[in-house]
Structure 1
């Protein structure tokens, strides 16, 4: 909630746990039907009349409706971040301006490298001072999941993918691999990330399947469309289960067609995906915020609605491997066990 120069208050979004998702009175509200149980609404409180009024707005109305931050300046409301439902699993790093006089929302696109933008989070604080916007804090959902079962894993190797979307280089994804937890899976991945297997390798391959608020998938070094797969050990190899849960975004996991059908295909999660636990082998993670921002850029690319294949080719143009000496290995948090 923010106040303007006249002292009038503006409130946007929200979530009421007392309201049923099937509430009859709200069944005719299009915003409710689309975002329930959240409210995509902007309200104004007039101090002179002591009345609330729902404003009719247009433009790029934000869809992350909870735990965002807002501030007011010069007839505009600045809104940043926030999350949707499930709470904390789909967050934002977008800056949106609401022009009060025009009743219009506008997204402000950064001119800097996307990999240098803040990580998508919620519960920030925001302030304007001397024509500069300051952002502080923020949180991600995994910080609230099962502290008593917090898990960590040893990173034994690193793989770095340099990625392009169309003709644009969007940066590098640095992955840490769990060679002690899933040695055979890691050995297979390193083979394709490095020199390759029988001429087939990740360098030059594409991310053929992208699903927003779920994952990005690549590694089809045979056909490039998700129909092909091969492993260092033959056509397939067995699962190394039990593995870690898919309890945080940014985990590296094996794609498969069922039990013990691992090959070259893999995916990177962009949200919590607990329904995959026990079915797919987690064997690594994205190591840093800049790398996760590149994953988010891939996640946002437009795709064919039937195949989930990006319209612009998302390609791994370079792939490199670093085997860590015992003294270089380190532990990293991976959420809950």
Structure 2
């Protein structure tokens, strides 16, 4: 960090010391002992403006207190068949780590249907993955590597992206807004793979609306991106869709258990972790449970409307306007 950055963090520390106790308690779960590194995330998100960063952090902490986020890792989604349904329709998982120790999260953007549960379960699942990453995985990797590891990388698979994605924009935008406001700068790089023309058109329209620091994080790779990704991770950490060129739900995998599946070690460990923390409260496993309702922030309307507009263009011309698109795939 440069001198200006260190001075900004010092100023931020003085302001944060003034917040009330309930917020300080939840902030411990946010920074996990790496105070300066996490303050810098909020500063980056507000272009190093200390006052704006403080406002953002305080609003994040209030959101955590109001929605009991600190206890979300003791709120299992039950029965397990329901959680399996969430996993089959909200394709996300962890495939491994980069050589620098950053967790690699794989997301099947194009084939996620979000049609097996209510919106609240999908939001609950997403936040649980965030919290497990921040409170379990990252501290463990930091200890193992002897240095702070506070971010991850995400590989976004666009296989199967179609006009039907129009119906999912609201939910995806809600989840993205939750991340932007409450988990800022947690993703080091976004790698986009298996991108069809429809993605390229949407990305061209949305890109100018994003802040420069966000644009720089997004790398659209050729085909399944295997060669580029192998520069930063071993093949064992490569998402399955980068090995064979396409996503699949857990019921369609052909090469072992893919990282989206409920049967994958990551999801088994996460599910058992949440179940164990529920049981340690002295309660039997619930046979049925209502979803964990979280207050939704107001989504970024401009970006959502732009994506919606681009998708409607394809819908109105029934695909006839789509030019030939030659995408190099992977065996």
- TM class by shorter chain equals under 0.3
Structure number with the higher strand fraction is 1
Greater radius of gyration (CA): 1
RCO higher in structure (CA 8 A, sep ≥6): 2
Q: TM-score, normalised by structure 1?
A: 0.21
Structure number with the higher helix fraction is 2
Q: TM-score, normalised by structure 2?
A: 0.21
